[in-house]
Homo-oligomer: A and B are copies of this chain.
Amino acid sequence: MIRVGIVGATGYSGVELIRLLAGHPHVKVANLYSSTSEGEALASVFPHVQALELPVLAKIDAGQMGADNDVIFLATPAGVSAELSPELVKNGAKVIDLSGDFRLKDGAAYTQWYKRQPAADEWLQKAVYGLSEWKKEEIAGAELIANPGCYPTAALLGMIPLAKSGWVNPKSWIIDAKSGVSGAGRGVSLGVHYSEINESIHAYKVSSHQHTPEIEQELTGQAELEQLIQFTPHLVPMTRGILVTAYGQLEKAAALSELQELYQSSYAGKPFVRLRQPGSHPRTKEVYGSNYCDIALHVDDRTGRVIVLSVIDNVVKGAAGQAVQNMNIMLGLPETAGLPLVPLFP
């Protein structure tokens, strides 16, 4: 069995990794690490895992960790991985980092959007952006994966085929995104207080969210043409799910059927992207608990725009699930191993 370690198991992404890996046929959760709860059982934090056999939370020690694990997942706050991941790789482990520390190739952009020091440039360049469906070859050979952000995953999977096609004005993109509250993590604040969130919706970080440059970088890279995006996240009164509504100005008159074919061929053989009927309206509930990204296409002849709807479960495809998918690719395992193929409905 492949030995897996998880840093940050007491957060939502960490415990979701445990859910997925507990059912994975080829790996064993060998080690859990925590900077705050060393020596405790995870079930003391999360009673819902009390029936699992899990190691106690161990102390973070890069040398030992590299030796004790084949693969290490980091589900840690910004800044932790920048320091820790290079050490883990040097000590022999493959690393999948769920934080934003290695996603931006440009350290200056990291500083601008994250308001903190970037990781060493050598490692920024070495890290592979782990958008499974579009980077499979690089992922297969990588030692360090920058696992994509939740919003970028939904946005990029929905937009890349169009951006590559050149049919959309690359400065016209508007991404209006809606997320459940779990994306904010388990830390407490007025911003996640039930009474403040329930029966309400609001936008946040308009024009300043740190996922903006991540989306632009990857969309530009795939299209080989600079893309400029407007990105607006919103907080929705639900726990899980992201819906991206993306708007692009068509530069040629494209029939909906043409776009549908473009996406069909783009995602043929990719098990976790489901192209929905043209003109349909996917619901986040229809991917709940699963690693799917469901995409639907619309063309508005009045305005000359394409509208892409893209839904994921932010905790799965937007975090832990895509991380497991990347591990599978890195290790040459079947891409779907350990990943549930039927969403929880209702």
Looking at A70-78, A80-88, A175-183, the stretch in contact with chain B turns out to be: A175-183
Decide: B195 and A239 in contact? CB cutoff 8 A: yes
Residues in B with CB closer than 8 Å to A341 are 22-23, 51-52
Q: In the complex the two chains form, is A342's CB within 8 Å of B202's CB?
A: no
B340 near A305 with CB under 8 A, answer: no
Q: Is the CB of A234 within 8 A of B238?
A: no
Contact between chains at A203 and B52 (CB < 8 Å): no
Please state if B47 and A280 are interface contacts (CB–CB under 8 Å): yes
Is A222 at the interface (CB under 8 A from chain B)? no
A188 within 8 A of B: yes
| Chain B CB within 8 A of A48 CB | yes
Closest CB in chain B relative to A269 CB, distance in Å: 13
User: Chain B residues with Cβ under 8 A from A287's Cβ?
Assistant: 48
Please report which residues of chain A, range 243-293, place their CB below 8 angstroms from some CB of chain B when the two chains form the complex.
243, 245, 247, 271, 274, 276, 279-289, 292
Q: Assess whether B12 is in contact with A238, with CB atoms less than 8 Å apart.
A: no
Q: Is the CB of A193 within 8 A of B186?
A: yes
Q: Do A182 and B201 touch (CB < 8 A)?
A: no
Task: Check A52 against B342 for contact (C-beta < 8 Å).
Answer: yes
Q: Closest residue of chain B to A171, judged by CB? A: B303
Which one of B23, B201, B285 lies within 8 Å of A200 (CB-CB)? Answer: B285
Q: Give the one of A47, A51, A294, A311 with max B CB within 10 A.
A: A47
Query: With an 8 A cutoff between CB atoms, is A302 at the interface?
Result: yes
Contact present for A194 and B207 (CB under 8 Å): no
A184 to chain B, nearest CB (A): 8
The 8 Å CB contact of A283, one of B194, B202, B292, B303, is B202
In the complex, the chain B residue whose C-beta lies closest to that of A309 is B203
User: Taking the complex as formed, is A329 at the interface, i.e. its CB lies under 8 A from any CB of chain B?
Assistant: no
Residue of B nearest to A175 (CB): B176
- B340 and A239 form a contact (CB under 8 A): no
Within 8 A of B (CB), among A285-343: 285-289, 292, 294, 298-300, 302-303, 305, 307, 309, 311, 315, 340-343
The interface residues of chain B lying within 8 Å CB-to-CB of A279 are: 206
Contact partner, A203, options B171, B204, B245, Cβ 8 Å:
B245
Chain B residue contacts of A203, Cβ below 8 A: 243, 245, 281, 309
A230 & B305 in contact (Cβ 8 Å cutoff):
yes
Question: Which residues of B have CB within 8 Å of A289?
Answer: 289, 344
Q: Least Cβ distance of A226 to chain B in Å?
A: 12
Beyond the given pairs A12-B346, A46-B345, A199-B199, 7 more chain A to chain B contacts, judged by CB atoms under 8 angstroms and listed by A's residue number, are: A48-B286, A194-B237, A198-B199, A201-B283, A204-B281, A230-B305, A232-B307
Interface string of A190-222 (1 = CB under 8 A from B): 101111111111111011000000000000000
A154, CB-defined interface residue at 8 Å: no
Taking a contact as CB atoms closer than 8 A, the residue among B176, B238, B282 that contacts A47 in the complex is B282
Decide: A247 near B198, CB < 8 A? Known: A188-B189, A300-B207: no
- Which residues 147-178 in A have Cβ within 8 Å of B in the complex? 171, 174, 176, 178
